[in-house]
């Protein structure tokens, strides 16, 4: 284990996405939650959470990193040796401990020594055991080092604080949203018979990067041809044929804040089934939006949305024409646990923020919450279509962070 001075004699530059007072405020809020849970030391191992509290970031997000946050006293950043310079540049943490990147399996032992060096032996240690970061082996080493301490799950402590964004965070997400729109615009501009899904992915990537995006949390997701109705597949040199649907999902990144969007296009004329699915997806999205109001419970929002969709289904029998059941039953089954997922600060390999989901709960919608609202319909191996926006809850209702005209694009 090597201790590094966070501020060496020669400091070429410093870059943080927020002012230090913002990071201090976030740490203060976390410590308040720690006090309520009687946690003496919190071990933050999810890279997004570490970044939120200190500014630390690295593109090797699967490498070990840990923020040791005691109830009182200075923070300690424990990272791989090659990441120390990033800690110096992106954070103001005074004590940075390093472990050789080729020996990350020893992190638990070194982490125990760091905790032992703090002012007092902890009675209760909080872990992000349901987040990424700490391995079971490292966990066992910690338990062995502190046999009398309670090791408690504190996975939601930081993420729930992150759920409500500050004005600056939403500004970053607006910028990310504009990058996403630039990528979609570039992708749509080259769609034609004979090109490949790689060509579309390349155009989307270039469009977002030229607009200002950093490296992506997920590369553009482009599905076409036989693959278009298979979720979470993506580009793989497939040549586009006349009439092929093209599913496009992507997110630009600004200061690691994401704002994904989802859209559908056709290389030619859309089939009746694709057009129907697109119309329903757009209608579902607009119905959800019409019910988004701050200070309503999520259950209330989703119940109202479902009632309106049931009324639509009774008039049009859309569900029976699409999936052989009522639209409301299909949506209840397909989205039984959530209707929009939280987005914001993220690193590869994914952009969702595992904080507060827009689901059937008594959670109150609060201005500053941000989601990717996406309705995508698929019949495996046959047809798919969908649309989605990144949105922020506001005092008046909501704001679309990926502004563009949503429609089924047909390219002749």
Residues 6+ apart with CB under 8 A from 267: 191, 192, 193, 224, 240, 241, 242, 243, 244, 246, 411
- Shared domain check, 198 and 71: no
Short-list 218, 259, 254, CA closest to 344:
259
At 304 the pLDDT is: 86
Q: How many residues does the chain have?
A: 412
- Shared domain check, 313 and 237: yes
Short-list 199, 198, 175, CA closest to 189:
199
Average pLDDT over residues 69-81: 96
Q: Which of 106-115, 292-301, 316-325, 383-392 has the lowest mean pLDDT?
A: 316-325
Six-digit token string for 98: 């390093």
> With the CA atoms of 90, 95, 99 and 104 taken in that order, what torsion angle do they form, in degrees rounded to the nearest 10?
-70
Residue that wins the pLDDT comparison between 227 and 311: 227
Whichever domain contains 209, its CATH number is 3.90.230.10
What share of the chain in percent tops pLDDT 90? 73
Number of domains in the chain: 2
Confidence bin at 47 (pLDDT 50/70/90) = very high
- Final residue of a structural domain among 141, 161, 181: 161
Average pLDDT over residues 386-404: 97
**pLDDT digits over 143-186, tens only?**
899 999 999 999 999 999 999 999 999 999 999 999 999 999 99
- Shared domain check, 247 and 383: yes
At 48 the pLDDT is: 96
For residue 354, pLDDT beyond 70: yes
- Final residue of a structural domain among 161, 188, 206: 161
- Final residue of a structural domain among 161, 194, 217: 161
Q: Which of 356-365, 384-393, 401-410 has the lowest mean pLDDT?
A: 356-365
- Shared domain check, 97 and 146: yes
What is the span of the domain harbouring residue 405?
167-410
**pLDDT digits over 113-131, tens only?**
999 999 788 999 999 988 8
- Shared domain check, 362 and 303: yes
For residue 213, pLDDT beyond 70: yes
- Shared domain check, 119 and 232: no
- Shared domain check, 326 and 212: yes
> Which is it for the CA torsion 265, 381, 330, 353, positive or negative?
negative
Q: What is the mean pLDDT of the chain?
A: 90
CA distance 238 to 248: 14
For residue 202, pLDDT beyond 70: yes
Average pLDDT over residues 10-18: 83
At 332 the pLDDT is: 57
Whichever domain contains 91, its CATH number is 3.40.350.10
At 327 the pLDDT is: 59
- Shared domain check, 62 and 130: yes
At 243 the pLDDT is: 94
pTM of the full predicted structure? 0.92
- Shared domain check, 142 and 253: no
Which residues on adjacent β-strands are paired with residue 70?
Answer: 41
Q: What angle do CA 83, 102, 354 make, to 5 degrees?
A: 55
Average pLDDT over residues 78-107: 94
**pLDDT digits over 312-326, tens only?**
655 555 555 555 555
Confidence bin at 383 (pLDDT 50/70/90) = confident
Confidence bin at 345 (pLDDT 50/70/90) = very high
């Amino acid at each position: 284990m090597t201790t590094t001075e966070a501020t060496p004699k020669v400091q070429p530059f410093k870059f943080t996405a927020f002012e230090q007072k913002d990071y201090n405020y976030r740490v203060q809020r976390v410590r308040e939650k720690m006090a309520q849970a009687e946690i003496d030391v919190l071990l933050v191992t999810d890279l997004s959470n570490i970044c939120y509290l200190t500014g630390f970031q690295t593109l090797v997000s699967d490498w070990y990193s840990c923020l040791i946050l005691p109830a009182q006293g200075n923070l300690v950043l424990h990272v791989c040796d090659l990441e120390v310079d990033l800690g110096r540049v992106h954070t103001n943490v005074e004590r940075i401990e390093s472990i050789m990147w080729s020996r990350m399996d020893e992190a638990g032992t070194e982490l125990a020594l760091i905790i032992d060096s703090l002012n007092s032996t902890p009675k209760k240690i909080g872990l992000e055991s349901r987040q990424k970061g700490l391995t079971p082996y490292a966990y066992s080493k910690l338990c062995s080092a502190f046999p009398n301490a309670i090791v408690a799950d504190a996975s939601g402590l930081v993420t729930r604080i992150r759920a409500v964004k500050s004005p600056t965070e939403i500004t970053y997400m607006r910028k990310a949203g504009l990058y996403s729109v630039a990528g979609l615009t570039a992708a749509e501009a080259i769609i034609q018979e004979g090109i490949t899904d790689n060509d579309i992915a390349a155009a989307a990537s270039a469009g977002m990067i030229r607009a200002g995006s950093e490296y992506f949390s997920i590369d553009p997701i482009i599905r076409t041809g036989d693959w278009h109705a298979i979720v979470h597949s993506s580009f793989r040199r497939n040549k586009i044929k006349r009439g092929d649907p093209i599913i496009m999902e992507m997110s630009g990144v600004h200061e690691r804040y994401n704002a994904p969007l989802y859209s559908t296009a056709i290389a030619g004329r859309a089939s009746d089934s694709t057009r129907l699915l697109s119309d329903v997806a757009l209608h579902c999205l607009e119905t959800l939006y019409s019910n988004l109001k701050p200070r309503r419970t999520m259950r209330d929002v989703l119940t109202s949305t479902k009632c309106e969709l049931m009324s639509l289904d009774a008039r049009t029998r859309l569900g029976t024409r699409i999936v052989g059941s009522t639209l409301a039953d299909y949506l209840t089954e397909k989205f039984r646990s959530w209707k929009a997922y939280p987005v914001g600060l993220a690193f590869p390999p994914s952009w969702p923020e595992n904080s507060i989901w827009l689901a059937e709960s008594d959670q109150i919608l609060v201005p500053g919450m941000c989601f990717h609202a996406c309705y995508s319909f698929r019949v495996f191996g046959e047809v798919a279509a969908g649309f989605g926006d990144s949105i922020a809850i506001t005092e008046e209702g909501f704001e679309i962070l990926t502004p563009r005209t949503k429609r089924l694009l047909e390219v002749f």
